[in-house]
Structure 1
């Protein structure tokens, strides 16, 4: 698995700046400042959040020598010659249980009844499984030997004092949060979620729940991308729709710029008379500081995509076609949000996969990035039909297959380049 290189951010602000995906992403990321705002959350509310500070262990784990099974704590030398036809019988001198302390030092030639999680008595160096013994209550009989350290875990085996538990920029999940709880923490400092707003554009768009007018369509992209924005870790402040009118678009975007670090628009990014987003982005960048970074991508779907830096915010203008919008969104918005969130690793990740089925829809004139499902190293791509039933609008894709221009049809068993979504 590798990260894409980060080529220099382009300085051209012309409307015709069309870039490969990698350069477009680098241009966007060069304009992104990670958040410095933090908040303190209970551990149970911190899953999936980004850690804001290095945290080191102040306690060893386990904090004492601990039994790993129910049975009898012993000196391994006392049973070195035990075997089924010549067992060793030892008196049981004490009973130790989890939370009950370490008990007295264990003399040679004696055993201590012990439960899982209990402190090992000083001197004992192994634990015989209960099921491998017989006992009358006061004595225990052992029929095979154990090596020192068997079935017990020494103090600090899992975590040593001073060991890093989580670093600034790490994404917190249950395992790490459990480690923090094991150190006595109840809360953790995390970075605040980046703020985002979304504007879907088009005279034809109708909000779900209202009757469709003649020539109208329901707004798919608002829900599709809004949910994915939240899943990527953004906090959505505004979700709005505008007609194809410059003044209306400007009012919406200017209001979003007041509090949103990322603004997503859909529609209005082609070259028609009612495609106004590129003009708006250039006007706002000139007034507020910034520039139009690119006006298109050398890839399909998603060729009609623009990116702009406006003040402290980034605007990502996507196609009005939900399939093209979802493709460009998955490849560009994710890394931007991850960097804004303070994550240490935010770029796209590339690996190799093996085709699980044939896929014959390739093009000679354009690089294609097709949504697919990756399981282990196996890649499944559904046949395309050009409509909303494509994988872009399904929930089971998790990667893009990178198909160079001029690539022959893909066949089962072929190795392919994969970009994780």
Structure 2
């Protein structure tokens, strides 16, 4: 029940350990959702076409469905004349058969009548009663969308891992899908701990501050493809924290807790986890964010993030968000990094990897030199630059890679 840190892990070792424990206790799962509610969800398995599309030969233009040889040699000086035997609007079809010397008036999207092999656009015709003059020659299949020309039945439509945007949902709708199998979102509980914290909306009394982390981390979970539920602010009270953790894990897959991870007098999370489970990680050799905890309780994970908002956000983005995205089926390729020129020198403590908050403006990378408790530095920050543990100085003018928060 001591307050000492366990053996501090190097960042790569910590990432691997966290990933391995997620893989041990959680597997990506699927769920079927209505197509209308599938926007921005991730396809769980390859999807194949159910029908040929288009499902029939169809007109690509308004005009007249003819046998192409009826138009050979046609011009404005020498029009060809054919008889109209039927007229079609989109959504209807003709039972008539087009023979030489006859035609069916047709709308875009309508099925090509039997016997016809091409469509002559209405712009090159002149209708006169039940006849029409043809002023242009066409070739077989001209302005006809052949059955299956877009996609054949049983063709691959969407690959596993594709994010369902409006255009891709349209593709599924064209195939008659009403539901789609997607990755189930990881269900994560979020709590903040600390006697000093109060909810926004209440009067800010002496020695109190508004809770930042639970709302911030909840939205980070959402952006990473999960579902997050705030389970409230918990005082630095052993029994209250213990009961909250146990109750939250009954309803959710994972618990993210901010605060209570340091080796301070008022920090109790490690002690609680030692009683109800087992601490697997306590401390990462990074700045900010050293006091990070990973515990296992009844084969579920409890992750303790630092209480300082900057530290909490950085640790979440670097170590926790990747495993949530993996469960949610979101590819790491979707993450955005940019390169730019450092505008001010960065000093870093040798022996500890540093995540330096920066702003990014049209190729200029500007460090934000505030401590990890400086909440409003987050308002300016666009992302962070990773400084390796063996680097003491990153010089002004160097090209650096910025990992963007958005």
Once the two structures are superposed, the pairs formed by residues 139-150 of structure 1 within 5 Å of their partners are 139-150=131-142
- In the alignment, the residues of structure 2 paired with residue 309 and residue 362 of structure 1 have an alpha-carbon distance, to the nearest angstrom, of 37
Give the conservation status (yes or no) of the 8 Å contact 1:402–1:419.
no
Give the conservation status (yes or no) of the 8 Å contact 2:288–2:354.
no
Pick one of 53, 60, 70 that aligns with 2:52.
60
- In the alignment, the residues of structure 2 paired with residue 419 and residue 22 of structure 1 have an alpha-carbon distance, to the nearest angstrom, of 19
Pick one of 14, 34, 49 that aligns with 2:27.
34
Tell me: CA distance 1:63–1:304, structure 2 relative to 1, closer, same or farther (3 Å). Answer: same
1:329 paired with 2:348, answer no
Pick one of 106, 110, 115 that aligns with 2:107.
115
Tell me: CA distance 1:207–1:415, structure 2 relative to 1, closer, same or farther (3 Å). Answer: closer
Deviation at 1:64, TM superposition (A): 0.8
TM-score by length of 1: 0.77
Bigger drift between 141-150 and 305-314 goes to: 141-150
Partner in structure 2 of residue 270 of structure 1: 262
What RMSD over aligned residues (CA atoms) do the two structures have, in Å? 3.7
1:152 paired with 2:144, answer yes
- In the alignment, the residues of structure 1 paired with residue 187 and residue 318 of structure 2 have an alpha-carbon distance, to the nearest angstrom, of 19
- In the alignment, the residues of structure 2 paired with residue 362 and residue 154 of structure 1 have an alpha-carbon distance, to the nearest angstrom, of 63
- In the alignment, the residues of structure 2 paired with residue 321 and residue 408 of structure 1 have an alpha-carbon distance, to the nearest angstrom, of 28
1:307 paired with 2:294, answer yes
- In the alignment, the residues of structure 2 paired with residue 369 and residue 107 of structure 1 have an alpha-carbon distance, to the nearest angstrom, of 77
Tell me: CA distance 1:360–1:310, structure 2 relative to 1, closer, same or farther (3 Å). Answer: farther
Tell me: CA distance 1:103–1:358, structure 2 relative to 1, closer, same or farther (3 Å). Answer: farther
- In the alignment, the residues of structure 2 paired with residue 92 and residue 56 of structure 1 have an alpha-carbon distance, to the nearest angstrom, of 41
Deviation at 1:28, TM superposition (A): 4.8
- In the alignment, the residues of structure 1 paired with residue 268 and residue 304 of structure 2 have an alpha-carbon distance, to the nearest angstrom, of 11
Give the conservation status (yes or no) of the 8 Å contact 1:80–1:146.
yes
Give the conservation status (yes or no) of the 8 Å contact 2:88–2:106.
yes
1:127 paired with 2:115, answer no
Deviation at 1:148, TM superposition (A): 4.3
- In the alignment, the residues of structure 2 paired with residue 297 and residue 331 of structure 1 have an alpha-carbon distance, to the nearest angstrom, of 13
Between structure 1 and structure 2, the one with the greater Rg is 2
Tell me: CA distance 1:65–1:96, structure 2 relative to 1, closer, same or farther (3 Å). Answer: same
- In the alignment, the residues of structure 1 paired with residue 81 and residue 342 of structure 2 have an alpha-carbon distance, to the nearest angstrom, of 68
- In the alignment, the residues of structure 1 paired with residue 369 and residue 128 of structure 2 have an alpha-carbon distance, to the nearest angstrom, of 75
Pick one of 175, 183, 186 that aligns with 2:175.
183
- In the alignment, the residues of structure 2 paired with residue 249 and residue 107 of structure 1 have an alpha-carbon distance, to the nearest angstrom, of 84
Q: Secondary structure at the match of 2:394?
A: coil
Give the conservation status (yes or no) of the 8 Å contact 1:372–1:401.
no
Partner in structure 2 of residue 72 of structure 1: 64
- In the alignment, the residues of structure 2 paired with residue 417 and residue 187 of structure 1 have an alpha-carbon distance, to the nearest angstrom, of 39
Give the conservation status (yes or no) of the 8 Å contact 1:331–1:348.
no
Unmatched tracts of structure 2, length 5 or more: none
Pick one of 365, 388, 395 that aligns with 2:375.
388
Pick one of 327, 338, 342 that aligns with 1:353.
338
Give the conservation status (yes or no) of the 8 Å contact 2:359–2:367.
no
Alignment coverage as a number of residue pairs: 392
Q: Secondary structure at the match of 1:296?
A: coil
Deviation at 1:385, TM superposition (A): 5.8
1:223 paired with 2:211, answer no
Pick one of 17, 23, 26 that aligns with 2:16.
23
Deviation at 1:265, TM superposition (A): 1.0
Q: Secondary structure at the match of 1:31?
A: helix
Partner in structure 2 of residue 10 of structure 1: none
TM-score by length of 2: 0.79
Q: Secondary structure at the match of 1:265?
A: strand
Deviation at 1:275, TM superposition (A): 3.5
Unmatched tracts of structure 1, length 5 or more: 1-12
Partner in structure 1 of residue 395 of structure 2: 408
